[in-house]
Structure 1
Amino acid sequence: MTKDELAMLDFAVKWAPFGGGDEHILPEFGVFPAVFYRRLQRLLTRHPSVNDSVRRRLDELCTVKLTPARPDRRRSHSRVPTMH
């Protein structure tokens, strides 16, 4: 594992409990969060030396971060049904 990859992994482990630390990714690594999470996912698959529980937790974080936000569905449920 390179120094840069190790730095990404350390950062992800440190910030995962706090939602990922997205605001720190660009200044720290010079890439946008989506790029960081894609690179982190590739790193996790290429390096079997990463602990399985850490790998699962970080892969889940990457998946959440890379999944587009769904439209607010509360509006469709906020209507008061009419009584007939």
Structure 2
Amino acid sequence: MTKEELAMLDFAVKWAPFGGGDEHILPEFGIFPAVFYRRLQRLLTHHPTLNDTVQRRLDELCTLKLAPTHSDKPPSYSRVPSLHSAT
């Protein structure tokens, strides 16, 4: 493992209990959180010597962070009547 990979792994282990520390990833590593989580997930796959529990927990964090959010969906243009409209 490279120094950068070890730093990423240490960071992920440290911040996982607090939701990942996304706001610290760009200043710390110079990459956006999505890139960080993709690299971390690849690292976990290619270095299976890590503790199984830690590996599983970090992989779940990566999967959660990389999952599309509701805000990624295109807006719905269906007409839904307002609860306050006059009828």
| 1:1-84 matches, cutoff 5 A | 1-70=1-70
In the alignment, residue 16 of structure 1 is paired with which amino acid?
A
Question: Rg larger in 1 or in 2?
Answer: 2
- Point out 4+ residue stretches in structure 1 off by more than 3 angstroms: none
Matched AA of 1:21: G
RMSD value, Cα: 1.4
- Fraction of identical pairs, as percent: 82
Structure-2-length-normalised TM-score: 0.80
CA distance in structure 2 between the aligned counterparts of 1:70 and 1:6, rounded to whole angstroms: 33
TM-score normalised by structure 1 residue count:
0.82
- Equivalenced residue count is 73
SS in structure 2 at match of 1:50: coil
Deviation at 1:49? 1.3
Letter in 2 for 1:38: R
CA distance in 1, matches of 2:49, 2:3: 15
Q: What one-letter code is carried by the residue in structure 2 that aligns with 1:18?
A: F
